[in-house]
Structure 1
Amino acid sequence: MKSFRQLTRWREHLPFTVPLTVLGAIIASANGAVLDSKLIFVVLANMATVSYAFMVNDIEDAEDDAIDAKKAKRNPISAGRISRDQAYTVARALALVALFLFALTNKITFGVGLTTLLLSHLYSWRKVRLKAYPVTDIVSHSLMLSGLLLVSGFTAFSYEVKEIWILTAGVILFSIYGQLYNQLRDYMADAKAGLKNTTLLVGKKRAEWLKNISIVFGAVAFLTAIYYKTFPVWLIFPVLVAMPLVFSLKMKTDTSGIAAIDISGKIQLQVHLIVNIVILVWLAQVFISSLI
């Protein structure tokens, strides 16, 4: 059981899967929607979906990961603790659970969830392997691990998607940063595995430039969302309270638990913590307001 939990890499993705989904729902509530049990359904569905994405990734990459000692230790299939068939059986069961939970929300959210699951599979599946090609690696990664999570949380309660397009663009841009960061970190291993992703195509220097540009434009998108009052102004207070506490923690690894390659990697965990704290405070405020 421990090996199957490790295969989901839940510690890596829950810090962004849950808050992105909840954020979408909160923004829908700010436009008049009432949060109910669908929030639980869509959060659990996205947790299962992203776990499926990571499971398929490690299943399909097991042979490649065996080449790298660090990756082999992290991948229970490469380490020989579970078989490929066992892993796929559990992954498929998880995908069915996700679809069932999405179906408990509404048709639009089910469609978004199904799209996320399909991308999660095609991203790593050897017969397609979107992550092995330039552009498709970045687009599919940023959609399935950020943009679609936010949209599914929102559409569970509202169909007015125009209300979140700027914010969706922002989280996609930050996800693009994350993917480029990962590709730069795994540059040598990916080259040995024969991948032809965006970073290997454009080279390290250009990929570094694209990574930094993604951060800048992502920040601009968030500031624009603040300008259009997507976020309430009072959220600045939990941010200011959390920052000195969180940044007092000195990290040497990124969110994958691997040695950070630059300063942005060293603060990934802190940024995730701040985002989670702020969204938790906002969610609490929404529920308290509904009771008054």
Structure 2
Amino acid sequence: MGKYIIAGGTGFIGGYLTALLRKEGHEVYVLTTQKSRLSFSEKGQQFVYWQPKERYIDETFTLSECKLINLAGAGVAEQRWTAARKKEILDSRIDCLETLYLAVEKKQLQVQHLVSSSAIGYYGEGYKLFAEDDLGDDSFLSSVCRKWEEAAWQFARHNTPVAVIRTGIVLGKEGGALKEFLKPLRFGVAGIPSDGQQIYSWIHVEDISRIFYYLSSKNKEGIFNGVAPHPASVNTIFTAMIRHTHPFFMRVHAPDISLKLLLGEMAIEVLKSTNVSSEKILQDGFRFLYEEIDPCIDALMT
């Protein structure tokens, strides 16, 4: 059927999305910085070498009438936010899009449509319900998201339709936030940040993969929030997980000051509420597999 290029296709969401695209009969070209992966190319999935820091994609690789999905970028929660790490978080996102844009300008790639990641970190903090037309704040992640999105919009200069997905907290078995949440629970400890009242806008990994495909297959344009219809408090999320783990547990609320000492500036993201609306994607016709947190956790932990 169609031809898809995926940047970030070897990551957590990328693995699910690649499998979905192949299931739908599409040819998938996964960009990789590891030459060792090239030998794992197979029918329906080809690895293509690139080095975004060097603005390089294998010159022998050209593709016409293809669609592009960008998921690439250094993990936000993987390391403490030193000055060097913050630079890497931003640069890794911009470098990838700039490299792809350069390939379009050189006519190495003829992209019919782009779907690019962003994050709900764009909105900053608040219990109010954020929609796509709300403004961000002056936080680090909001600044990163603005620049990330600007790098995607430049593809419109070549008459390429662009959709941006502001992704929430992604839950899945093999990665994402759930894996981290479960670590203390396996020892009978529910390590809940702060008072647990903060709101997290979450989404099942299958649903976020389906949103990327939905927007791409229908050539949608604009900004869409990639979150489930019903955000949940941290306490609610942990209560759902506890049902499937240790029969006897101790609920421990980590004080704000402890988290700030442990995580530094990154603690802001753990402690804040971001209540984000999915109304736009619902009104467009997308239907979620997992709208509420309890069925989502049940599916992931059974």
TM-score, normalised via structure 1 length? 0.34
- Higher helix fraction (1 or 2): 1
